[in-house]
């Protein structure tokens, strides 16, 4: 679909109230390493870069070089992300990308042109592929970008919390079967069904642990020593109502997501977020839901505790998805929301490349100065080859250029470098003085030809071979024929380019899809060198494509 950026350093960010959680990760070889986990206040500062802001608000400061090279990645929340699974009878990823919007249209509860889509392929066999579809509204995505811009932060990649948690579970647990991931944040909770680091389903709830944290603060309790088994058995406890409500929410969500496991047992549960470090809440929830509690651990960073891994699960998962070698990168920064500085990741390689070019040029110059004698013979040979390309011989050229008589023409073997340069200058001036012509009449399909092709197309008008009865599969609403480009005196090398914009309606989405497939397949009218643009919304479809140009260009 589009290029998804990755880097050797990535910085995952998760906002929480007025604070920002972050995880700086690096990759060496094939294993990621957590360089730093931190929490810093969100502060607005004018004319301060994102890296500069993070660098000076974290204590102790982050490594300057690593932070400068880090790819900043954020994520859409589970509430903002629509998750659906679908089966597509295709196996190649590029083919799946081509039909994804068609397949997603009946599953997305808002116009498809107002959605930004991503996908992860769950499995592939001879019958096709099972895909998890992620969709976010464009308005939510723009608000997400504006939020970070207000703090002088510019995310280079935007993923989503469900896939970040699934990626996190693959790296920091050894569970091979499907498992539930419950993320407990102050203002919301999210439950994800994942397998092998991929999302199968997910659900978000507006009920988080905010009321529980408020009761703990009011009662001046020590969050690390709370026994939630005692709380559950004491209805007079100030934490009992919020714990009971959380239990009900999680039970309903687990029951609903179990149906999406397709018959597979889900015995394990992984709990992350701020709620995962409150006393023995993790163990109590696992016991209540009758699931095996999974404890995360890092082989590459044994000094990082399980509670640290739980608390920073989201930023860690987001950063993992953008490290080099990531299996399922998710990036909603595409199309009109693309990262505004696409060359950022190429600056260092480009500088190295330019430096190498300069060194090679300098070496070639020195070597050339030493081989001037040998170059003279080479120049004579190439000059003779040039005359052959110009369909002339040495004698005829000397007569045309200098009026030299045949008997006075000097042999090519006797010409010096200066003499050859003099003749090359004359050839260049002669070529520049020759007028350049360009075709005035294009050889492109006319309006009548295109309309006849569209209206007689079997994907538009179906004709019964026996009864000759005609059935209109598509109803053309509007048609626009535009000459987008043409040569003129200021741009004589420009080729003719005809653009067609057609809008139509169809009773069946499959008929519209068949017409789209026909446009992108080889045919006598559509130019395959240019992109076929397609959009759909509320039963109407729009297609833009370019016609083949058969004009002869001298």
Averaged confidence pLDDT in the chain: 86
Res 44 pLDDT > 80: no
In a domain, 207, yes or no: yes
- For residues 444 and 550, the answer to whether their CB atoms sit within 8 Å is yes
What is the per-residue pLDDT across 338-358, written as a single tens digit (0 to 9) for each? 988 876 665 656 666 777 778
Whether residue 418 is found in the same domain as residue 511: no
For the segment 227-247, the average pLDDT, to the nearest whole number, is: 91
pLDDT at residue 1, as a whole number: 44
From CA 130, how far away is CA 124, in angstroms rounded? 6
From CA 45, how far away is CA 150, in angstroms rounded? 9
Res. 47 pLDDT band, cuts 50 70 90: low
What is the domain-level CATH number for residue 189?
A: 3.30.420.40
Which of 469, 522, 527 is closest to 496 using CA atoms? 527
The reported pTM is 0.64
pLDDT at residue 362, as a whole number: 77
Number of domains in the chain: 3
From CA 530, how far away is CA 497, in angstroms rounded? 10
Q: 291 or 45, which is more confident?
A: 291
From CA 36, how far away is CA 518, in angstroms rounded? 52
Whether residue 272 is found in the same domain as residue 382: no
**Beta carbons within 10 angstroms of residue 547's beta carbon:** 22
In a domain, 70, yes or no: no
In a domain, 55, yes or no: no
Which of 3, 6, 9 is closest to 34 using CA atoms? 9
Peptide bond into 58 cis (omega under 30): no
- Of 295, 326, 358, the domain-final residue: 295
- Of 295, 319, 351, the domain-final residue: 295
From CA 505, how far away is CA 509, in angstroms rounded? 9
In a domain, 136, yes or no: no
For the segment 331-335, the average pLDDT, to the nearest whole number, is: 92
Whether residue 529 is found in the same domain as residue 476: yes
pLDDT at residue 461, as a whole number: 87
pLDDT at residue 326, as a whole number: 86
* Residue/partner pairs of 507-510 with CB below 8 Å, 24 or more apart: 508/473, 509/102, 509/105, 509/106, 509/536
Whether residue 199 is found in the same domain as residue 281: yes
Whether residue 388 is found in the same domain as residue 464: no
In a domain, 40, yes or no: no
What is the per-residue pLDDT across 70-102, written as a single tens digit (0 to 9) for each? 899 999 999 999 999 999 999 898 999 999 999
- Of 409, 433, 457, the domain-final residue: 433
Whether residue 424 is found in the same domain as residue 390: yes
pLDDT at residue 356, as a whole number: 75
Structure tokens at 192: 């994800």
Which of 35, 86, 30 is closest to 61 using CA atoms? 35
For the segment 169-198, the average pLDDT, to the nearest whole number, is: 93
The burial class, CB within 10 Å (0-12 / 13-18 / 19+), for 47 is exposed
Tell me which residue range forms the domain holding 241: 174-295
Whether residue 474 is found in the same domain as residue 426: no
Say whether 46 sits in a helix, a strand or coil. Answer: coil
The most confident of 57-61, 65-69, 222-226, 380-384, by mean pLDDT: 222-226
- Given 3-state DSSP classes, what are the helix, strand and coil percentages for the chain, each rounded to the nearest 5? 40, 25, 35
In a domain, 214, yes or no: yes
Which of 108, 93, 506 is closest to 515 using CA atoms? 506
pLDDT at residue 351, as a whole number: 67
In what helix (H) or strand (E) does residue 485 lie, and over which residues does it extend?
strand 475-485
């Amino acid at each position: 679909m589009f290029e998804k950026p990755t880097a050797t350093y990535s910085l995952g960010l998760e906002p929480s109230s007025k604070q920002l959680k972050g995880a700086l990760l690096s990759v060496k070889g094939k294993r990621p390493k957590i360089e730093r986990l931190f929490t810093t206040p969100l502060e607005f500062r004018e004319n301060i870069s994102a890296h500069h802001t993070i660098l000076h608000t974290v204590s102790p400061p982050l490594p300057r070089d690593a932070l400068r090279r880090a790819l900043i990645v954020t994520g859409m929340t589970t509430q903002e992300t629509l998750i659906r699974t679908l089966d597509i009878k295709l196996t190649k990823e590029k083919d799946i990308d081509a039909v994804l919007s068609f397949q997603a249209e009946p599953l997305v509860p808002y116009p498809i042109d107002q959605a930004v889509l991503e996908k992860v392929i769950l499995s592939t066999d001879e019958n096709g592929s099972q895909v998890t579809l992620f969709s976010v509204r464009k308005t939510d995505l723009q608000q997400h970008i504006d939020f970070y811009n207000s703090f002088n932060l510019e995310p280079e990649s935007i993923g989503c919390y469900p896939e970040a948690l699934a990626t996190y579970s693959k790296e920091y647990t050894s569970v091979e079967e499907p498992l539930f991931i419950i993320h407990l944040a102050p203002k919301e909770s999210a439950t994800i069904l994942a397998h092998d680091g991929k999302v199968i389903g997910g659900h978000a709830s507006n009920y988080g642990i905010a009321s529980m944290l408020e009761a703990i603060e009011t009662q001046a309790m020590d969050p690390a020593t709370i026994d939630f088994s005692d709380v559950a058995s004491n209805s007079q406890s100030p934490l009992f109502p919020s714990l009971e409500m959380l239990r009900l929410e999680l039970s309903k969500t687990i029951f609903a997501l179990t149906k999406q496991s397709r018959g597979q047992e889900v015995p394990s549960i992984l709990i992350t977020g701020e709620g995962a470090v409150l006393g023995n809440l993790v163990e109590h929830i696992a016991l209540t839901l009758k699931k095996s509690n999974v404890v995360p651990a890092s082989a590459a960073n044994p000094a990082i505790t399980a509670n640290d891994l739980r608390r920073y699960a989201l930023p860690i998962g987001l950063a993992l998805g953008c490290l080099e070698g990531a299996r399922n990168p998710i990036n909603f920064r595409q199309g009109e929301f693309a990262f505004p500085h696409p060359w950022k990741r190429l600056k260092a390689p480009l500088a190295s490349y330019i430096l190498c070019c300069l060194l090679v040029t300098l070496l070639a110059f020195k070597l050339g100065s030493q081989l001037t004698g040998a170059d003279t013979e080479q120049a004579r040979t190439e000059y003779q080859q040039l005359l052959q390309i110009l369909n002339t011989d040495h004698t005829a050229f000397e007569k045309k250029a200098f009026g030299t008589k045949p008997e006075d023409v000097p042999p090519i073997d006797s010409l010096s470098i200066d003499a050859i340069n003099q003749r090359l200058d004359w050839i260049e001036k002669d070529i520049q003085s020759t007028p350049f012509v360009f075709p005035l009449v294009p050889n492109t399909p006319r309006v009548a030809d295109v309309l006849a092709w569209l209206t007689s197309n079997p994907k538009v008008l179906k004709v019964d071979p026996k009864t000759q009865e005609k059935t209109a599969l598509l109803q053309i609403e509007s048609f626009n024929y535009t000459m987008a480009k043409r040569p003129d005196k200021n741009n004589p090398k420009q080729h003719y380019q005809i653009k067609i914009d057609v809008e139509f309606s169809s009773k069946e989405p499959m008929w519209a899809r068949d017409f789209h497939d026909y446009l992108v397949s080889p045919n006598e009218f559509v130019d395959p060198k240019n992109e076929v643009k397609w959009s759909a919304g509320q039963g109407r479809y729009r297609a833009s494509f370019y016609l083949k140009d058969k004009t002869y260009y001298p």
